[in-house]
């Protein structure tokens, strides 16, 4: 089982995304993702996402909002992945180069036009909705074959 975080940094109608094109043997190769990654021992979701945002983009998240929780059964190497999804609209610092991909500010209304994981297209609109969401996304050979999505007010 892998615990992970995803963070969507937002500013002026845009979201900071990473185009995963630099890392060798990357399961996300060629896709656009929010920032984030796997937990280190003893970390809380907030500590993990703040560390990952800093490592990937050089900025410090000032205020995080937990928006969702995602389940990916047997996502990679027959391991289940669980991801805490955050939105951050307050941060400080200047963007740096990421060793995992190319960072870019994308207009929010253009996010769904990017090469994304199929499930991302389903939950990304919920970032703008009030409340909390959960999702389960089952992939086989990189293709979404089953999903559930719930929204809580």
pLDDT digits (tens, 9 = 90+) for 15-30: 999 999 887 777 888 9
Look at residue 99 in the predicted model and tell me its pLDDT.
85
Q: Report how far residue 98's alpha carbon sits from residue 74's, in angstroms, rounded to the nearest whole number.
A: 27
pTM: 0.95
Give the pLDDT of residue 77: 85
Instruction: Please report the pLDDT score of residue 146 as a whole number.
Output: 98
CB atoms within 10 A of CB 68: 22
Average pLDDT over residues 109-133: 97
* Distance separating alpha carbons of residues 64 and 45, to the nearest angstrom: 10
| Cβ neighbours of residue 10 closer than 8 Å, sequence gap 6 or more | 16, 87, 88, 89, 108
- State how far the Cα of 16 lies from the Cα of 63, in Å rounded to an integer: 15
Contact (CB, 8 A) for 114 and 120: no
Mean pLDDT of 87-109: 95
By DSSP bridging, strand 35-38 and strand 2-11 are antiparallel
The reported pLDDT for the residue numbered 22 is 82
- Name the more confident of 100 and 12: 12
39, two tokens: 């937990």
**What does pLDDT average to over the chain?**
95
CATH number of 2-113+122-139: 3.90.79.10
Token pair of 140, please? 């086989």
Whether 135 shows a pLDDT value over 80: the answer reads yes
């Amino acid at each position: 089982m892998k615990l992970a975080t995803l963070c969507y940094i937002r500013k002026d109608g845009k979201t900071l995304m990473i185009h995963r094109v630099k890392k060798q043997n990357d399961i996300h190769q060629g896709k656009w993702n929010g920032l984030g990654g796997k937990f280190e021992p003893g970390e809380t979701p907030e500590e993990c996402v703040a560390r990952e945002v800093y490592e990937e983009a050089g900025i410090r998240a000032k205020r995080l909002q937990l928006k969702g929780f995602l389940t990916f059964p047997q996502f990679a190497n027959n391991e289940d992945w669980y991801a805490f999804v955050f939105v951050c609209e307050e941060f400080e610092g200047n963007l740096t180069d990421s060793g995992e991909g190319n960072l870019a500010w994308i207009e929010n209304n253009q996010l769904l036009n990017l090469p994304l994981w199929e499930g991302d297209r389903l939950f990304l609109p919920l970032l703008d909705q009030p409340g909390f969401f959960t999702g389960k996304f089952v992939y086989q050979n990189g293709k979404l074959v089953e999903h559930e999505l719930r929204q809580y007010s």
